[in-house]
Chain A
Amino acid sequence: MAVYLFADTQVLVQGITGKQGSFHTRQMVSYGTKIVAGVSPGKGGQNFEGIPVYHTVAAAVTEQRIDASILFIPAPFAKDAAFEAIDAGIKILVLLPEHIPIHDAMAIMAFAKSRGTTVVGPNTFGIVSSGKCKIGIMPNRFFLPGNIGVVSRSGTLCYEIVGNLTASGYGTSTVVGLGGDRVVGLNFTDVLKELEKDRQTEAVVLVGEIGGSAEEEAAEFIKANVTKPVIAYLAGKSAPPGKRMGHAGAIIERGKGTFEGKVKAFEAAGVSVAQLPFQVPAFLDKALKK
């Protein structure tokens, strides 16, 4: 089954005519994603390689059934575009942009919650139900269908780990990028809840990093609610306190969000923590007794 996205999920691209938007729309289409509409203010009535382009999201939803939208919009304008999608009733919103102001992110999350919209990101690579529907910027060829659910705070590290899985014969059910910012929509717990229910998913790989408390909360949730094997990998063991390691959220502040604290929380929840990224497939072999 996979979670969140399915073979028939219909997708809107906001900012479809921009450089990033057009490049990744082509990539998504070639993956098999059903992109049914684009929005680009001032370009309503045109089409992008056969995909109808609308002036506003409201105009798009009157003509198309849209299940999800992805934003290729510069950060300063992302709040307006996100509000527009939520207001139009879109239920899954993927926020690609990095550097969205934190107050804008909080406003987006509050509005989304009031309208029942699921937000992925910001500062995410997106989400993919392998072989069915990809909404994001991840390289197509690593995301082959299979039984491993993956949820990650970072992009390239997730590709690295999914690449290792693929090379070891493990495909993926759904892969979710939570995003590297301090305030994001979906968190580990939300995704774990779905993957636990999903019949296609046999085990979960969780890719976390230092900073914040998302991993600790995930560990608590796993202990009480998850029966499937969970393997974790955490980045940032060597990071010094007080330094922001690229991601806004990746910082050890006032003794919180440390690598050691997260490992301890996971081990207490029965989650195996891989020391190195390439060890993840072997850990899965053991957990699934292959």
Chain B
Amino acid sequence: MKLYEYMGKELLARYGIPVPEGGVAATPEEAAELTGKIGSVVIKAQILSGKRGKAGGIIFTDNHAEAGRFSADLLGSELNGYKVEAVLVEKKLQIERELYLAITVDSAARNPLILASAKGGIDIEDVPEEELVKMALDVTVGMQPFVTREVTRRLAVSDVVAAQIADILSKLYRLFVEMDAELAEINPLVISGETVIAADAKITIDDDALFRQSALPLVEERTAAEKKAHELGLSYVELDGDIAVMANGAGITMATLDLIQYYGGAAANFLDAGGGAGVEQTARALELLLSKNPRAILINIFGGITRCDDVAQAFVDVKKNSGIPVPVVIRLVGTNEEKGREILLAEGINAYKLMHEAAQRAVEIVKGN
């Protein structure tokens, strides 16, 4: 779960990391009032996407009326595909230098990784590899002074700045661990006078740890259908095509989408019904697919734990209760396959045995062959 900048900064502040004076505003009046109080400010649209400046989502002003007008334009508008529901009003910083600082998870090494650069304020992917400071953290020892000494040495900053960065790193690591973050990024980390301040915050919390992070506000990035799927325990992603897909298992679902593309079609979604979906869950999954009005449905079941007769029964139930107005192609193999095939045959559907044949057929149907 990605946090908005203002939420990230609240967390940074809670852990004692310096952030600019400011506050979040949900209305133009609040933004104007904050500006009147602070003086010279930067106003930033709160969306879960970078490159806000280029999109017109950041403005500098010292006039409260202008702050109000700008916020009125921004609030409720769409920026980089996201609706702006709040703006952050912050004191404008005197910037001497911009650095980059982050702690993330290094999947390959299976440990946290510090990323730092003396070049901040730009996309970290644009920083040349040799100018990037990378240091692995061993979770059994954590953020020790020797680690911060090495990071600040490689950043080549003054002693005064190094001491502050060391302090920020220790606090950021505590936040990273205690808040179950996957990413805690400060970009830019600004040197203002002799003070180091976090001018931005990008924090992502591990979705799998939300059960123990109940104090955090929930940030909903999913579409309505994706949210519904999540509640049903299904893994679902909306895509742009017209063939709805359901399979069991993430890998086989991806492979099914690939096959549709291979034969010249386009999938409407990724839906992994899980390795052991029963009749009920399969039926709910089918209804979800139908709600997006696809032109065909492709069901690909390789039954290990999933029982083919359960899937067939779910299909029959949904057809009876709410009707299925589009062609359905089913591939059915594995546990209780014969029973499943019989159930479908009674409905006039001849299930495929091979997944590529089923995918090819679904594409043909949509293309009108």
What residues make up the interface of A, taking CB atoms closer than 8 Å to B? 75-76, 99-107, 109-111, 114, 125, 137-139, 152-160, 163, 180, 182-185, 187, 207, 209-210, 212-214, 217, 235-240, 243-250, 254-255, 275-278
Known contacts A103-B206, A159-B302; decide if A247 and B255 are in contact (CB<8 Å): no
Q: Name B247-301 residues within 8 Å CB distance of A.
A: 247-255, 257-262, 267, 270, 272, 275
A236 and B206 contact, CB distance less than 8 A: no
B254 and A245 contact, CB distance less than 8 A: yes
Cross-chain pairs A/B with CB under 8 angstroms, 24 sampled:
A101-B180, A101-B206, A102-B105, A102-B180, A102-B208, A102-B209, A106-B110, A107-B139, A110-B110, A155-B275, A155-B304, A156-B249, A157-B249, A157-B254, A159-B302, A159-B304, A159-B334, A182-B105, A182-B107, A236-B258, A238-B257, A239-B254, A245-B254, A245-B270
B208 and A248 contact, CB distance less than 8 A: yes
A137 to B276, CA, bound (A): 11
A137 and B255 contact, CB distance less than 8 A: no
Please, which residues of chain A bring their CB within 8 A of the CB of B206? 101-103
Q: In chain B, what residue has the closest Cβ to A279?
A: B356
A106 and B112 contact, CB distance less than 8 A: yes
Please, which residues of chain B bring their CB within 8 A of the CB of A247? 250-251
A214 to B260, CA, bound (A): 26
A237 to B111, CA, bound (A): 28
Known contacts A106-B105, A239-B254; decide if A154 and B249 are in contact (CB<8 Å): yes
Please give the number of chain B residues whose Cβ is less than 8 angstroms from any Cβ of chain A in the complex.
50
A138 and B304 contact, CB distance less than 8 A: yes
Please, which residues of chain B bring their CB within 8 A of the CB of A217? 108
A180 to B272, CA, bound (A): 13
Q: In chain B, what residue has the closest Cβ to A123?
A: B250
B140 and A157 contact, CB distance less than 8 A: no
B208 → chain A closest CB, angstroms:
4
B304 and A156 contact, CB distance less than 8 A: yes
Ranked nearest first, the 4 interchain pairs of A and B with the lowest CB-CB distance are A154-B251, A246-B250, A156-B249, A157-B251
B139 and A101 contact, CB distance less than 8 A: no
Interface majority SS (helix, strand, loop, mixed), chain B: mixed
A156 to B355, CA, bound (A): 13
A144 to B250, CA, bound (A): 24
B13 at the interface (CB under 8 A from A): no
A173 → chain B closest CB, angstroms:
20
Interface majority SS (helix, strand, loop, mixed), chain A: loop
B157 at the interface (CB under 8 A from A): no
Please, which residues of chain B bring their CB within 8 A of the CB of A249? 107
B354 at the interface (CB under 8 A from A): yes
Please, which residues of chain A bring their CB within 8 A of the CB of B250? 154, 180, 209, 245-247, 250
A137 and B208 contact, CB distance less than 8 A: no
A277 and B355 contact, CB distance less than 8 A: yes
B305 at the interface (CB under 8 A from A): yes
Please, which residues of chain B bring their CB within 8 A of the CB of A106? 105, 110-112, 139
B331 → chain A closest CB, angstroms:
10
Please, which residues of chain A bring their CB within 8 A of the CB of B105? 102, 106, 182-183
B160 → chain A closest CB, angstroms:
33
A220 to B22, CA, bound (A): 50
A276 to B211, CA, bound (A): 39
Among the listed A160, A245, A276, which residue makes an inter-chain contact with B302, where contact means beta carbons less than 8 Å apart? A160
B251 and A158 contact, CB distance less than 8 A: yes
Q: In chain A, what residue has the closest Cβ to B235?
A: A246
A235 to B258, CA, bound (A): 7
A152 to B10, CA, bound (A): 41
A139 and B208 contact, CB distance less than 8 A: no
A109 and B110 contact, CB distance less than 8 A: yes
Known contacts A137-B304, A277-B355; decide if A99 and B208 are in contact (CB<8 Å): yes
B208 and A75 contact, CB distance less than 8 A: yes
B212 at the interface (CB under 8 A from A): yes
A110 and B138 contact, CB distance less than 8 A: yes
A104 to B177, CA, bound (A): 10
Q: Name B105-136 residues within 8 Å CB distance of A.
A: 105, 107-108, 110-112, 125
